[in-house]
Structure 1
C-alpha cells in the first residue's frame, strides 16, 4: 500500500480484528496448504493495550453444559499443551505457561442435579472431571469451607490458566511469518462493493475483498454488521479483576467458583479474583474504571467465608477489561451470515474467546478454504440460530 493514505488494496479475505480470534483465523488460513489466496488483518490498536485477550483471567475449562463448548475446549487444551510445536517460528517455540490446576465448581443443594447432569455430559465426551461429595472436597482441599455445599466438580486435568497475551502473540507471529500483513487502522465504514466488500480505513485508504471476517470485538463487530444491514445482539460489558496476597498458604488451589459466581485462582505467589455483577448493575460501557468497592463489598466477603485463610489478605493491583457479551444466549456467533453473502462473524464469545480461539480459528479457516468444517463441526454456533430463535443454552456461564 502506498503512503498517500488514499490507496485501495484488494485481497481475497479481509479479517477485521487482530487479537486472539482474528489472529487465530489468519494463522490457520495461512497454515492450510490448500489456501492459495491472499488475506490480511486489520487491527485498530496494534499495542493491544485494551483488548480482551490481554486483560482477561486467561483460563480454559471443559466444565460447560453444552457439548459444543466442551468439545471446543477439549481441542483447545490439546492445542495449548502442544503450542510450542504447533506455532513455532523457525527455532522460536512460544511458551504460554499453561498450568493445569483445574476448575472447581461448587453447588448448593438446589443446584446439585444440574452439576450431576453437567458432569455426566462432560465425562461422556472425554473430560477428566471428578464429582466430589462434601467429605471428599474437604479432604482434597482442607482450606475450603463446605458450609452450604452439596457437591463440587473439579477438573483433575485439562483445565487451568495460561498467558493469554502470549497465546495471541503466538498466533500473530506465526501468521506474520507466513506473510500475512497486519494493518494498523480502524474500519470506519463497511459496505457492499459488487459481490464483495469495501472497507474505508481511518488512514484514508480502503480495502476491497471478496469475503469479510468480522472478529472486531464488542462495539466494532456490532458496528461493522450494522453497516451491512445486520443487527448483532452484542454489547461491551466491563469485568474487573483484583489481585491479592494471602498470609497463610492455600495449597493446590484450583480456579474455584463459589455458587454466587465469585471466582479465585492462583496468580504468581498470590491470587486473582472476580465476578460478574448483578444484571441490574451491568450496563453496556466502554470505560476501564476499577470500582474498588466491588471487591470490598462483594468479592472479599464471599472469598473469606469460603476460604477462611482469605480473611487476612493484602490487596494488590486491579484492572478492568471488556467482554463482547452475546445478549441472545451468551455463546459465540461463528460462521457465515446468510443475509450477507461473503460475510463471516466470530463474535460474542462472552468471556470464552481465549480458550475457544484455537478451535474457532481452525474451524473458520476450514469454512473459508474448504467450504465446510472438516474436523470439529461448529455449526451449533451458527449465526442463523439468531433468526431462528434457537438459543444454545449454557448453564455454566462465569
Structure 2
C-alpha cells in the first residue's frame, strides 16, 4: 500500500523509545493525528533494545531519574491495564532481587549516603548496609574491602523488556500507527531553518511531517545532522556474558555493582549474567559488535571471582556485545524539542537506561505533542537547551 504523503508525526527509529512514543500517542484520546514509525532494520538484530539486560532500578542521584523509573515499574507491573485490559497482554512482574552498590572508598560511600536521601524523598525503599550487614544477608560476598553498600528490594531487578517492546508495537499498530522498514536519509527544512517540513526515505519517497521524533538510538547524531543539529551521542560497546557456576549460590544474587565497574546478577537455575566494558571506552563504529575476548579473562572474571569466591569455577554459556546510545555530555537523557528547529523532538542519549525509562519518556513526548506541555512528569530539565548552555546534569549513579 502506498504511504500517505504526510503524517502528523514521523518517528525515526522503531526500537523501544520509538515504539513507546508511538503507543502513547496512539493511546491518548486527545491525539487524533497520524503517526509513522520508520525503522531501518525490522529484525532489530543489532538494536540496543534487543541487546539489553532488561533491568530496572530507582537508585539514582537525580530525583527525576528516580521518578522516571518508578513510573516504568508501575507500567511494567500493570501492563495489561495500561493496554486497556486486553486479555492477550500477559501479566508481568519485576523480579526484585535489587541492585547492590558496593563502595570501597570513603568518597563513594559518601555518594551512597547522599543518594539515599534523594531516593527516600522520592519514595524509594533503598537501604544502606554496612559490610557486616551485607555479609550476614549475603554470605557469599567477599566484603573485606567494602565500607558500605546500598540496596533496594522494591521494584529493582529484572523485567521482561522484550514483552513490553512487543506490545508497544503490536498495540500501536492496532491503534492505527504505521510501521515501515525503510530509512530516513534526508530532511527538508523551511527557509528560516526553524522547522522540518519533510523527510526523504531511502526509496526516494518524500513524506511531509508536523513533527519529527529522533528515536535513532546510537545513530541519533546521524538523524539530527539531517536537521543541521549536532548531538553528543555515540555508540559505546557493552559486553555481556551468561555463565554457569559449578557451585551455584543458595540464594538470589542482586544486580551487584562492583567497585571495579563490573556488574553481575541472577538469571536462574545456577546461571548468572555479568557485564562490563574495557577501561578505555571509546566511541565505536555503528557496525562494530566484535567481542573483546581478553576483557573476560583479564577484567571480568577476576573481578567476579574476587567478589564471590564461589565464582572461581564457572563456565561461559553465551556472550554478546550491545551498544549504549552514550550521551558524552552528561550521560542523561536528551528529550523534548530543539531550541531552534522547534518541531524536531529528541528521544536520545539514554546511556544504558533506555529500556527502564521508555514508558515515562514515551508518555512525556506524547503529552508534549498533544498538549504543548507535560502533564505527568516534567521532563524539561532533560531538554536540549542545557547542552546549548553547557549546563550538564550530574547523575552520580551511572553504570
TM-score by length of 2: 0.95
Q: What CA deviation, in whole Å up to 9, does each residue of 1:38-78 have, x standing for no partner? A: 11111111111111111011110001111111110111111
Q: More displaced, 186-195 or 229-238?
A: 186-195
Query: Aligned residue for 1:158?
Result: 155
Query: Aligned residue for 2:309?
Result: 308
Residues 382 and 274 from structure 1, CA distance in 2 versus in 1: closer, same or farther, beyond 3 angstroms? same
Preserved contact between residue 240 and residue 290 of structure 1 (Cα < 8 Å): yes
Runs of 4+, deviation exceeding 6 Å: none
Query: Aligned residue for 2:14?
Result: 18
SS in 1 for 2:96: coil
Counterparts of 1:374 and 1:90, CA distance in 2: 25
Preserved contact between residue 39 and residue 179 of structure 2 (Cα < 8 Å): yes
Structure 1 residue 196 displacement after superposition: 4.0
Preserved contact between residue 137 and residue 152 of structure 1 (Cα < 8 Å): yes
Q: CA RMSD for the aligned pairs?
A: 1.5
Preserved contact between residue 197 and residue 210 of structure 2 (Cα < 8 Å): yes
Query: Aligned residue for 1:242?
Result: 241
Question: Does 2:372 align with 1:395?
Answer: no
Counterparts of 1:46 and 1:214, CA distance in 2: 17
Structure 1 residue 387 displacement after superposition: 0.6
Preserved contact between residue 366 and residue 372 of structure 1 (Cα < 8 Å): yes
Structure 1 residue 176 displacement after superposition: 0.8
Query: Aligned residue for 1:72?
Result: 68
Query: Which of these residues, 34, 37, 58, is aligned with residue 38 of structure 1?
Result: 34
Structure 1 residue 197 displacement after superposition: 2.3
Question: Does 2:328 align with 1:327?
Answer: yes
Preserved contact between residue 246 and residue 313 of structure 2 (Cα < 8 Å): yes
Structure 1 residue 343 displacement after superposition: 0.8
Counterparts of residues 240-319 of structure 1 (less than 5 Å): 240-250=239-249, 251-269=251-269, 270-278=271-279, 280-286=280-286, 287-319=288-320
Query: Which of these residues, 34, 38, 44, is aligned with residue 48 of structure 1?
Result: 44
Preserved contact between residue 363 and residue 375 of structure 1 (Cα < 8 Å): yes
Q: What CA deviation, in whole Å up to 9, does each residue of 1:206-230 have, x standing for no partner? A: 21101111111122x2112112111
Query: Aligned residue for 1:190?
Result: 187
Preserved contact between residue 9 and residue 209 of structure 2 (Cα < 8 Å): yes
Q: More displaced, 7-16 or 124-133?
A: 7-16
Structure 1 residue 193 displacement after superposition: 4.8
Unmatched 5+ stretches in structure 1: none
Structure 1 residue 90 displacement after superposition: 3.8
Number of residue-to-residue matches in the alignment: 392
Q: What CA deviation, in whole Å up to 9, does each residue of 1:278-326 have, x standing for no partner? A: 2x34332321111121111100000000001100101111001111100
Preserved contact between residue 94 and residue 156 of structure 2 (Cα < 8 Å): no
Residues 96 and 18 from structure 1, CA distance in 2 versus in 1: closer, same or farther, beyond 3 angstroms? farther
Counterparts of 2:290 and 2:163, CA distance in 1: 24
Counterparts of 2:260 and 2:92, CA distance in 1: 30
Structure 1 residue 231 displacement after superposition: 0.5
Question: Does 2:59 align with 1:63?
Answer: yes
Preserved contact between residue 88 and residue 174 of structure 1 (Cα < 8 Å): no
Preserved contact between residue 8 and residue 205 of structure 1 (Cα < 8 Å): no
SS in 2 for 1:167: helix
Structure 1 residue 37 displacement after superposition: 1.4
Q: More displaced, 335-344 or 92-101?
A: 92-101
Q: More displaced, 13-22 or 204-213?
A: 204-213
SS in 1 for 2:30: coil
Counterparts of 1:67 and 1:241, CA distance in 2: 29
Query: Aligned residue for 2:223?
Result: 224
Residues 64 and 228 from structure 1, CA distance in 2 versus in 1: closer, same or farther, beyond 3 angstroms? same
Counterparts of 2:92 and 2:318, CA distance in 1: 22
